[in-house]
Amino acid sequence: MNRPSFQSIDIWAEWEKDILMILVEALPSLCNVNDMTNDENDITVQLYKIILTVRYNKQKITFGNIVLQTQNQPVNALCVSENESSLRKKPDLLWVFNDENADTPEKSQRYFTIECKCLSTTADDKNYVEKGISRFILNDWGYGRNEKSAAMIGYIKDINSNVHLCRVVEHSKKHNYPEILEYVCENKHVYRYTQTFETREFEPRNFTLHHLWTHIDDHFKK
């Protein structure tokens, strides 16, 4: 008897919804971390711990495994080669799930990829696109490979979020990337945007990148 296919049971949409819900709740708590430094990696370590706490408090302890700064995982079938350059890359967070509805072994483990960037300077805004968004588009990075969506986190350290958004949009347009659209967020401390791609260098070509930004500038004023 064949297992139900992923096409008939869209479990990914349910995972995506819950992941974004947990991230939206977790992000504002970064301002309450006393021992956090200004370093992007340290901020992400603190976010990782907060995510675990939120997941635990919501009684979603079995809701996937969250892995910090690990390499991209193989996604192809046995005896099918992988992109070696992509395998060496390390997204900031991977949210890993077992898919009981998978119709092949290589599809039984699924990955929601999260990349995190600071937003403080004009250089940061450029990097958000060229060393962030582009990693979900270029084959040699392959973030979000074989999945329909992923997320980027923005840590706003100082100026108004609209200034950063304008700069990020400008750099995104230079790469002919799709428009970044505002998404109404239920949490006033989190800015949500979405970006829908119709083509990239690997499958699936149709892909949604969620952007979640939060201010952490208050932390460094303490």
In tens, the pLDDT along 161-176 reads 899 999 999 999 999 9
Task: Indicate whether 33 belongs to any domain.
Answer: yes
Is 2 inside any structural domain? Answer: no
Q: Provide the residue-wise pLDDT of the chain in tens; the chain has 222 residues.
A: 455 444 445 899 999 999 999 999 999 999 989 888 889 999 999 999 999 999 999 988 789 999 999 999 999 999 899 999 999 999 999 999 999 889 999 999 999 999 999 999 999 999 999 999 999 999 999 999 999 999 999 999 986 889 999 999 999 999 999 999 999 888 899 999 999 999 999 999 999 999 999 999 765 444
Is residue 187 domain-resident?
yes
On whether residue 128 sits in a domain, the answer given is: yes
Nearest to 115 by CA among 22, 210, 18: 210
* pTM, full prediction: 0.93
pLDDT at 219: 52
Q: Is residue 7 part of a domain?
A: no
In a domain, 99, yes or no: yes
Instruction: Domain of residue 156: give its range.
Output: 22-220
- Give the CA count within 13 Å in the CB-facing half-sphere of 13: 5
Number of domains in the chain: 1
Residue 137 domain flag: yes
pLDDT value at residue 222: 45
Query: Residue 16: inside a domain, yes or no?
Result: no
Query: What is the DSSP code string of 43-62?
Result: HHHHHHHHHHHHHHHTT-TT
